Amino acid sequence: MIAYYQILLAISVVLTMLYFLSWHKHFDVHVTLIFLLIPIAILGNVLTARSTVMEEAIVANKITYFGGTYLLLMITLSIINLCEITLPRMLRFAMFLVSTMVYFGSLTVGDKTWFYKSCSFTVEDGCGRLTDKVYGPLHTVYVLLVMVYFAIGLAALVYSYIRKKSVPNKIILLLFIPETVAIFAFYGGRAVITDRIELLPIAYVFAQIMYLVIIHQVCLYDITDSGIDSIVQKGDKGFLSFDFKRHYLGCNETALAVFPELKNLNVDRFLPADTAVAKSVNRWLDTYEHDQSNSDFRYRTGENIYLVSITYLYSGKRKRGYQFFLTDDTKRQQYVELLNNFNGKLKEQVAEKTQHIEEMHDKLILGMATMVESRDNSTGGHIRRTSEGVRILTDEIVKDNVLQLSNDFIKNLIKAAPMHDLGKIAVDDVILRKPGRFEPEEFEKMKAHAREGARIVHAILEGTDDEEFHEIAENVAHYHHERWDGSGYPEGLKGEEIPIEARIMAIADVYDALVSKRVYKESMSFEKADSIIMGGMGTQFDPQLERYYLAAKPRLEKYYSEQEAVADGSGFVGGEMCKLH
């Protein structure tokens, strides 16, 4: 029978060697201890079989109990860990303490009656063994402990099968098989075969085989570890580590290819301050320590571009330093650059097309306004002059920004100014082209052009993407004849009820009407026109626009002087000599 135990010991040692050949630092420590304890337990059986006297058999028996007692604990804890169940640290310590107490009880065999009350030693067929065992109270505790550990392991497997979706059913089944076989061998082995051989060594070897299968499956299901291993093996991911004092801890071959200076640097040293890698690493770490959300950087070396990602370096749950991950990002950056260039050219083309469309749109609006103006033989050039008047006024308004008008607002107002009289297209030619002043009933019909202008502008611009321009143009057409005191038309709005764009338009419109020649009147002098405009501040016009009108007046007079000179070549405006600049 000695050969039986020796063969099992040899097989057990081979299986343990296979385990360590496939060992991974992330393997469960309890599984590692199982592969160490099983050969020890079987060695106890071998030494017992080879013993020639009782004293040798008792020592060998104590070795067997050392392996067997702690083996039960390790199997139970491995099941709990692999089933992803967390046991309190104190409970684990208590289990270890009880197992140690039972093992110390086995050490009393031959001296005390606590574990074995009595036993005999016999040698049969050259195989020694202890017989006629009378068990003491601590052995009863040992048997109970075996039952308790079996119950705990079985409960963990059942619980995981029902509740733990993250634990594969295949792992649960594989864990259940050696647990059941070991219990059968412990309690029923002697009844099944004889009292001359032990079945537990076979059960132990079977358990080793099953655990080799289990760790193979666990590695496959452990996404974190398998993912890291895959990244490392693939070779295109660089790793570089530093402690919190920025001592260099090491790197892999890929990182060395990116930072060749590291080849001559000893581990646990600072990076030489004058090297490119030290300057980059320290800059990245300074940024990361200030704000952990800034963890990604780019590093260019030659024609290659690397994505450098920083995270904390962990040992268990403790932060021990910094971990750098280097990924070759050259192709993606080249693609991004190509895409950016394409997008830049596309934006330029879109901008050109948009500008062209806007210019066509503006010309269309100006053309419509000019067409309407051509029907009115009293207002030639009015839309062009009032648009420039609005521009001159708004130039002064934006200087102090008291009214807080945006640049887009000013731009849209200047563009909308030519549309203020579009409603005249709905006025009868008899009235519109009348050479003299209007009769009251004719003036009432003429006043309708403001409301009609708003309707026409709304119809023209309906659906446009520029809602602000739409609103400004409609307001300018609708309300440019409203008065600050509420006596204007068509709605009789008062004060700030009148949109600011219409209030600005009103000054430019009236000023042009005063200083320009019409069929029913001569042009008015700048002094007289200024007197009328100033007299209307607070009644016809918004009084807060007075300061801007006064600031714009020199430019307005210069502009209208130039326009008049161009028109008749005389250099005279309103019967007065004007010096052209």
Query: Tens digits of per-residue pLDDT, 193-228?
Result: 445 677 888 888 988 898 888 877 776 555 455 555
- Residues 311 and 442 placed together within one structural domain of the fold: no
The residue with greater pLDDT, 358 or 148, is 148
Helices and strands (H and E) in the chain: how many: 19, 9
Q: Is residue 127 scored above 70 in pLDDT?
A: yes
Q: Which domain holds residue 303?
A: 235-328
Q: What is the full DSSP assignment across 36-48? A: HHHHHHHHHHHHH
Q: Which amino acid is at 548?
A: Y
Which burial class, exposed, middle or buried, applies to 410 when counting CB atoms under 10 A from its CB (0-12, 13-18, 19+)? buried
Q: Are residues 56 and 178 in the same domain?
A: yes
What integer pLDDT is reported at residue 203 of this predicted model? 86
Are residues 151 and 52 part of one domain? yes
- Residues 6 or more apart in contact with residue 82 via CB below 8 angstroms: 28, 167, 171, 175, 214, 218
pLDDT tens per residue, range 414-462: 988 888 888 887 777 767 667 667 778 878 888 888 898 889 888 888 8
Instruction: Give the mean model confidence (pLDDT) for residues 542-568.
Output: 86
Task: Give Cα separations from 286 to 48, 211, 294, 298 (angstroms).
Answer: 65, 47, 10, 15
Q: Please report whether residue 333 resides in a domain.
A: no
Binned at pLDDT 50, 70 and 90, residue 375 comes out as low
Query: Is residue 310 predicted with pLDDT exceeding 60?
Result: yes
- Asked whether residue 313 falls in the same domain as residue 383, the answer is no
The last residue of a domain, from among 192, 226, 260: 226
Q: How far apart are CA 526 and CA 522, in angstroms?
A: 13
Q: Are residues 62 and 122 in the same domain?
A: yes
Residue 378 domain-assigned? yes
Tokens of 160: 């995981």
**How confident is the model at residue 580, as a pLDDT?**
26
Pairing of strands 127-135, 572-573: unpaired
Q: Which residue has the higher pLDDT, 368 or 351?
A: 351
Q: What is the pLDDT of residue 410?
A: 92
Specify if 15 maps to a domain.
Answer: yes
Q: Closest Cα partner for 26 from 221, 199, 174, 231?
A: 221
CATH code of the domain covering residue 572:
1.10.3210.10
Do 409 and 321 belong to one domain? no
Number of domains in the chain: 3
Residue 4 has a pLDDT of 87
pLDDT range class, residue 277, cuts 50, 70, 90: confident
Output the pLDDT for position 284.
93
- Identify whether 299 is part of a domain: yes
Tell me, yes or no, if the pTM score tops 0.95. no
- For residue 343, being part of any structural domain is answered with no
Exposed / middle / buried, residue 46 (Cβ in 10 Å: 0-12, 13-18, 19+): buried
- Mean pLDDT for all residues in the chain: 82
pLDDT at 409 over 90: yes
Residue 335 resides in a domain? no
Domain match, 403 and 552 both: yes
**Whether residue 349 has pLDDT greater than 90:** no
Looking at residues 310-333, what average pLDDT do you find?
A: 84
Residues 240, 220 share a domain: no
Q: What is the pLDDT of residue 221?
A: 52
What is the CA 225 to chain-centroid distance, rounded? 24
pLDDT for position 571: 38
- Asked whether residue 239 falls in the same domain as residue 380, the answer is no
Q: Is residue 337 part of a domain?
A: no
Q: Which of 226, 244, 266 is the last residue of a domain?
A: 226
Residue 349: inside a domain, yes or no?
Answer: no
Say whether 404 sits in a helix, a strand or coil: coil
Q: Inform me whether the pLDDT recorded for 235 exceeds 90.
A: no
434, 490: one domain: yes
Check residue 372 and give its pLDDT.
64
Residue 194: CATH number of its domain: 1.20.1070
Average pLDDT over residues 222-245: 66
Confidence check: pLDDT of 394 > 70: yes
Q: What is the dihedral of CA 442, 443, 445, 449, to 10 degrees?
A: 140
Are 242 and 205 within one domain?
no
CA–CA distance, 112 with 575 (Å, rounded to integer): 140
Looking at 289, 312, 328, the residue that finishes a domain is: 328
Is the pLDDT score of 505 beyond 80? yes
Is pLDDT above 90 for 551?
A: yes
Confidence of residue 576 (pLDDT cuts 50, 70, 90): very low
- Indicate whether 243 and 208 sit together in one domain: no
